[in-house]
């Protein structure tokens, strides 16, 4: 492995707060990457358990680890901004203290970023798992910018935060981006990605799952889920207001697009009846055409069109009926 820490390609930034149960596994998953040209910046946010002692033991053994401890509990956004300010790599890679990066994660992401210089931020799909190490599901994401952008504006956050790698120049250049420290850890990533997308930064996701995303009862994302979702919906509404102004039926449009992915048969039928009026309203809005290209609009609308899902459900019902008739 390349261990040149004078000019690392990647600066891994991992905040830690009361993660004594999982932090060693998270650290090991980074140290065991097949790609080795990285520094590992770890910031303890005043943990009250043994997390910091565990971090100290790793920092004493591995020179690539740069360990910091906040003087006061500063919350996630401020801790992230500090970690990024200490980075010297070409890329910033995020990691959470209770997740697991699969061995080829950095190798795959660096290969992609180096061959796609136009891309500013790259994430991956992830495998959701629980405290018993049982894999629950694969968290799929849109892979191309033309879909990530409209989905982020109109549906939900389409980047898995601890899976991302981003060009450090996005954070250090004049007018740089940073995590909003006023949010206190409530969807600060979604807010930043939306800001970057509005500013023209290109996003991508690798289809392969290269991160294991832990779900626990004590995890911040689980404990504060309702607050995070509430704020995410507010971000969604702000995007609609920014792009549509006050002249459009924002609540109807938001509800149509937000729920279409998981609608029942009857909801799909109702959505289908009103879809094309929504589509006309959406595609003809001056605010939209200034932000999204025609290709992005058409691709997105084809994904949220309820007709294919409706036809699939009808075919499935017909197939079941025919099977029952043959069985008689």
Determine, yes or no, domain membership for 211: yes
Statement: residue 4 has pLDDT above 90: no
Q: What local confidence, expressed as pLDDT, does residue 286 receive?
A: 59
Statement: residue 221 has pLDDT above 90: no
**Lowest mean per-residue pLDDT among 10-14, 20-24, 321-325:** 321-325
Determine, yes or no, domain membership for 82: yes
Query: How many whole angstroms separate alpha carbon 189 and alpha carbon 123?
Result: 12
Mean pLDDT of 33-62: 98
Task: State percent of the chain over pLDDT 90.
Answer: 49
Mean pLDDT of all residues belonging to the chain: 81
Same domain, 84 and 219: yes
Statement: residue 150 has pLDDT above 70: yes
Domain count, the chain: 2
- Picking from 166, 197, 229, the residue at the C-terminal end of a domain is 229
Q: Which one of 131-145, 209-223, 254-268 scores highest in mean pLDDT?
A: 131-145
Q: pLDDT tier at 186 (50, 70, 90 boundaries)?
A: confident
Same domain, 27 and 74: yes
Statement: residue 248 has pLDDT above 50: no
Residue with tokens 């650290």: 27
Query: How many whole angstroms separate alpha carbon 132 and alpha carbon 319?
Result: 38
Same domain, 108 and 185: yes
Q: What local confidence, expressed as pLDDT, does residue 245 receive?
A: 59
Determine, yes or no, domain membership for 5: no
Q: What local confidence, expressed as pLDDT, does residue 306 receive?
A: 58
Statement: residue 81 has pLDDT above 90: yes
Mean pLDDT of 162-172: 95
Mean pLDDT of 8-16: 98
Same domain, 94 and 195: yes
Q: pLDDT tier at 217 (50, 70, 90 boundaries)?
A: low
Statement: residue 262 has pLDDT above 50: no
Same domain, 135 and 282: no
Same domain, 314 and 191: no
Statement: residue 319 has pLDDT above 90: no
Q: What local confidence, expressed as pLDDT, does residue 258 receive?
A: 46
Determine, yes or no, domain membership for 93: yes
Q: What local confidence, expressed as pLDDT, does residue 296 receive?
A: 74
Q: What local confidence, expressed as pLDDT, does residue 249 receive?
A: 46
Determine, yes or no, domain membership for 38: yes
- Picking from 163, 198, 229, the residue at the C-terminal end of a domain is 229
Same domain, 216 and 87: yes
pTM above 0.85, yes or no: no
Same domain, 71 and 219: yes
Q: Which range marks the domain in which residue 262 is found?
A: 245-327
243-250: long-range pairs with CB below 8 Å, 24+:
243/153, 243/285, 243/287, 243/288, 243/291, 244/285, 244/287, 244/288, 245/287, 248/281, 248/285, 249/281
Report the alpha-carbon angle 234-291-80, nearest 5. Answer: 50
pLDDT digits (tens, 9 = 90+) for 293-318: 777 777 776 666 656 666 666 776 67
Statement: residue 220 has pLDDT above 70: no
Q: What local confidence, expressed as pLDDT, does residue 40 receive?
A: 98
**Lowest mean per-residue pLDDT among 83-87, 221-225, 257-261, 302-306:** 257-261
Q: pLDDT tier at 252 (50, 70, 90 boundaries)?
A: very low
Determine, yes or no, domain membership for 234: no
Same domain, 264 and 142: no
Same domain, 178 and 86: yes
Query: How many whole angstroms separate alpha carbon 94 and alpha carbon 105?
Result: 11
Report the alpha-carbon angle 236-145-178, nearest 5. Answer: 60
Residue with tokens 């008689």: 328
Query: How many whole angstroms separate alpha carbon 228 and alpha carbon 222?
Result: 9
Give kind and range of the element (H or E) at residue 10.
strand 10-16
Q: What local confidence, expressed as pLDDT, does residue 278 receive?
A: 56
Residue with tokens 């929504």: 278
């Amino acid at each position: 492995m390349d261990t040149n820490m004078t000019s690392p390609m990647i600066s891994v930034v991992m905040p830690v707060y009361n993660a004594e149960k999982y932090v060693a596994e998270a650290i090991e998953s980074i140290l065991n990457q097949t790609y080795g040209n990285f520094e590992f910046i770890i910031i303890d946010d005043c943990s009250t358990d043994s997390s910091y002692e565990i971090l100290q033991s790793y920092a004493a053994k591995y020179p690539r680890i740069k360990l910091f401890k906040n003087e006061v509990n500063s919350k996630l956004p401020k801790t992230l901004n500090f970690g990024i300010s200490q980075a010297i790599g070409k890329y910033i890679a995020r990691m959470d203290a209770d997740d697991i990066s699969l061995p080829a994660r950095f190798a795959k992401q660096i290969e992609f970023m180096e061959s796609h210089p136009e891309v500013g931020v790259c994430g991956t799909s992830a495998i959701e798992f629980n405290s018993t190490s049982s894999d629950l599901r694969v968290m799929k994401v849109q892979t191309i910018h033309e879909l990530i952008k409209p989905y982020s504006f109109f549906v939900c956050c389409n980047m898995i935060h601890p899976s991302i790698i981003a060009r450090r120049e996005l954070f250090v250049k004049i007018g740089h981006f940073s995590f909003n420290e006023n949010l206190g850890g409530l969807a600060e990533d979604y807010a930043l990605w939306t800001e970057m997308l509005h500013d023209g930064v290109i996003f991508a996701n690798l289809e392969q799952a290269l991160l294991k995303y832990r779900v626990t009862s004590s995890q911040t994302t689980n404990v504060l889920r309702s607050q995070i979702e509430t704020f995410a919906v507010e971000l969604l509404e702000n995007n609609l207001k920014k792009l549509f102004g006050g002249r459009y039926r924002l609540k109807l449009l938001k509800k149509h697009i937000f729920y279409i992915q998981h609608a029942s048969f009857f909801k799909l039928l109702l959505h289908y009846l009103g879809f094309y009026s929504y589509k006309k309203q959406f595609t003809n809005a001056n605010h939209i055409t200034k932000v999204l290209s025609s290709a992005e609009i058409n691709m997105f609308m084809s994904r949220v069109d309820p007709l294919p899902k409706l036809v699939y459900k009808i075919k499935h019902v017909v197939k079941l009926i025919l099977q029952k008739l043959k069985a008689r």
